[in-house]
Structure 1
Amino acid sequence: MEKKSAPTIKDVAAAANVSIATVSKYINRTKRFTPDVEARLADAIRELGYHSNPLARSMITGRSKTLGLSIPDMHNQYFAGLVQGANRVAMKHGYSLLLVDSEESASRERQLLEDLCMRVDGLMIHSKLRDEEMAWIDELTKPLVFFDRREGWGKKQIDSYNREAAYMVASHLVKAGHRHVAYIGFDKSRADEERYAGAQACLEENGLALQRFNTEVSSPQEGSRLCSKIMLGPEPVDAVICFNDMIAIGFLKEAAELGFSVPADCSVVGFDNIPFCDYVTPALTSVDMGGERIGEIATQRLIDILSGQESQAELPEPRLILRKSTSSRQPDNG
């Protein structure tokens, strides 16, 4: 049996009794027609089962209808929510989403973004790199939206509430009676600088010090590695603020194995409010940064840039989700 060939744009034109140019303009939305003509075109496309060729369409319009999204760590569930939000908005507007994972590597991130730039209409970049490590970014020729605050980089960024969120966490711990607080950070990340500064500012206002520890990667293994150093160290600790939930989960596991009780011996807080927070023991107090909504806003902003419009959406404010890994205690005199 001879295989039936796929319908072409010429077939659609014949069925709708219009020119091939009219079909092309209708499919690519470069021109509107009368309701009667558009109805005939829609009927012909549906009855023939015609699907436009994205590659051919991009050659005609100069647009691929694809957006690029770069994230630093596929294993972190926070980014799963962000990707879901981004993909939802992209699909709504007829775009595909092309995702890459930089794996927190500066050299890998540059190569990925340079390659991705050639295949998409615009890029959304969630980078942990600092400004001085990204001087090359100006060489990219497509519209860009960043997921964090970049001084002097214009409106192509999603502002962040990292400093405010960390200040909120520290304030809650101080009001709950904690006086010996440690921070486990990830100094390769821009967000870490703001979170540490927010927590430190709050504690200084209350006459308290903030011990700092640093991870090599933002993983449960690193949280576990630092737990014994902190809990068995020479300086007492009654609360630990972790850069993210992944680190906090590792800390909780190791604390239990060392024989410590959380939160009786030490309260623990993370950032991102990933789904695992409800399933560890004890359930982890965390800051919900609104990752899924941020993904939606960033994608809408990029699409608006591509269409020459202004975005109006405001970012969600961080929310402290209290669970069993934190509790109140009587302030001591230390």
Structure 2
Amino acid sequence: MKPTIKDIAQRANVSTATVSRILSNKKQSYRPKTATKVKAIAKELGYKKNLAAAELAAHSSKLIAVILNNTQTNFADDIIAAIQAATDQAGYQMFILYAGNHDSRLLNQAISVALERHVAGILLVATTLDKEAAHTLQESNTPCRLISVYDEADPRYTGFKFTSSNNEEIGYLATNYLIERGHSRIGLAGIDRSSTGKQRLHGYQRAMTEHGLIPRMDWVEYGDYSFGPQQNMLKTLMNKELDAIITASDMVAVGMIKEAHLLDLDIPKDLSFISIDGTFLCDITIPTITSVTQDFYQMGTIAVRGLLNDEDSQFIPVHITPRNSVRILTTKSLEH
């Protein structure tokens, strides 16, 4: 097996970012003694090819690494398509590294591989940063940008620019849409406990509170945004006598509607659904699914532009796409 910068870093007792800078001959904050030690270990391990190419690659790389959290849902399809088109148009090439599903080990491994390639930049799609990953990226001085994830309250995300939808706004819009149509016992299904899930939960709670409704935590069922077996989740929520459910993704919505049919529930007569994402899945179900629609293609396009031009963080607008999964219980609030 060929040696990696992670192998060198472990032997030298320094970070992979420090090894990357030394082998790229970047004149930055490391001691000459450390540089000598790292280069000696690299030579000992047979890291000769990368040493010879490092300086050239550091100045002429046209590679963009895309690190993707492998959530079992389909939201990233348009993001990846847009990144491919935008990087190609700008004269760059992209390659994808999978970071598991919120797997710290695989995320840090992916970051190390990207830094070994001396990439021009790194795009991290829906990845949850841990302290090691954040530290490595910050030390590397490699341009990077988060996509479809952010957390301005978490110090791990400090200094990282992002391109994303506003998750709190998503939760608020979905809840408010249902309330305006007469729903009051509204569940939230399939969110996880990451920053994205917390932000959407906060938006849901804010909308409920503004309308004088009590947001009950037993109306919230946690998941992982995937299709999965949703029957137990749906049964649990139906025992709460809900009149509507917000699903954390289209995949969750499809799974729950499938199980609703098996339980002989009439959607939306017996239960209304609104989904978060608004991908093609919303148009191929029976009934079609009303959604808070995110523009994932625009998100990917703007993320590439932001990475290459060092632009500020940006929220991509979202909107409600009415379809056939929400029943209007009352039109009173819609008349105003």
TM category, shorter: 0.7 to 0.9
Tell me the equivalent position of 1:218: 225
TM-score by length of structure 1 reads 0.74
Alignment of 1:283-322 (within 5 A): 283-305=288-310, 311=311, 315-322=315-322
Does the aligned pair in 2 maintain the 1:224–1:252 contact within 8 Å? no
Tell me the equivalent position of 1:328: 328
Aligned counterpart for 2:79 among listed residues 79, 82, 103: 82
* Distance change >3 Å, CA 107–CA 222, structure 1 → 2: farther
TM-score by length of structure 2 reads 0.73
Tell me the equivalent position of 1:92: 89
Does the aligned pair in 1 maintain the 2:121–2:307 contact within 8 Å? yes
Matched, 1:276 2:281: yes
* Distance change >3 Å, CA 292–CA 134, structure 1 → 2: farther
Structure 2 counterpart SS, 1:256:
helix
Structure 2 counterpart SS, 1:220:
coil
Task: State the 1:314 CA deviation.
Answer: 5.4
1:165-211 superposed Cα distances (whole Å, 9 cap, x missing partner): 21111111001000111111432432111111001110011122332
State how far apart, in whole Å, the 2-side matches of 1:314 and 1:190 are: 17
Aligned counterpart for 1:68 among listed residues 43, 65, 68: 65
State how far apart, in whole Å, the 2-side matches of 1:67 and 1:107 are: 21
Structure 1 counterpart SS, 2:230:
helix
State how far apart, in whole Å, the 2-side matches of 1:110 and 1:298 are: 21
Tell me the equivalent position of 2:266: 261
Aligned counterpart for 1:106 among listed residues 104, 107, 113: 104
1:137-159 superposed Cα distances (whole Å, 9 cap, x missing partner): 22131211112333262362225
State how far apart, in whole Å, the 1-side matches of 2:57 and 2:176 are: 56
Task: State the 1:283 CA deviation.
Answer: 0.7
Structure 2 counterpart SS, 1:269:
strand
Aligned residues: 267
Matched, 1:178 2:183: yes
Does the aligned pair in 1 maintain the 2:107–2:133 contact within 8 Å? no
Matched, 1:239 2:244: yes
Structure 2 counterpart SS, 1:199:
helix
Aligned counterpart for 1:250 among listed residues 235, 251, 255: 255
Structure 2 counterpart SS, 1:73:
coil
State how far apart, in whole Å, the 2-side matches of 1:221 and 1:154 are: 35
Task: State the 1:295 CA deviation.
Answer: 0.4
State how far apart, in whole Å, the 1-side matches of 2:98 and 2:164 are: 22
Give the counterpart letter for 2:318 in structure 1: P
Give the counterpart letter for 2:325 in structure 1: S
1:228-257 superposed Cα distances (whole Å, 9 cap, x missing partner): 2212x1x21000011111111100000110
Structure 2 counterpart SS, 1:62:
helix
Task: State the 1:101 CA deviation.
Answer: 2.4
Does the aligned pair in 2 maintain the 1:57–1:63 contact within 8 Å? no
* Distance change >3 Å, CA 188–CA 70, structure 1 → 2: farther
Give the counterpart letter for 2:84 in structure 1: N
Does the aligned pair in 2 maintain the 1:218–1:244 contact within 8 Å? yes
Structure 1 counterpart SS, 2:163:
coil
Gaps of 5+ in 2: 1-51, 332-336
- 312-321 or 195-204: bigger deviation: 312-321
State how far apart, in whole Å, the 1-side matches of 2:166 and 2:229 are: 25
Alignment of 1:118-157 (within 5 A): 118-119=116-117, 120-129=119-128, 133-140=130-137, 141=140, 142-147=142-147, 148-151=149-152, 153-154=158-159, 156-157=161-162
- 90-99 or 68-77: bigger deviation: 68-77
State how far apart, in whole Å, the 2-side matches of 1:128 and 1:261 are: 37
Q: In percent, how many aligned pairs have the same letter?
A: 22
State how far apart, in whole Å, the 1-side matches of 2:88 and 2:71 are: 21
State how far apart, in whole Å, the 1-side matches of 2:309 and 2:327 are: 45
State how far apart, in whole Å, the 2-side matches of 1:86 and 1:284 are: 27
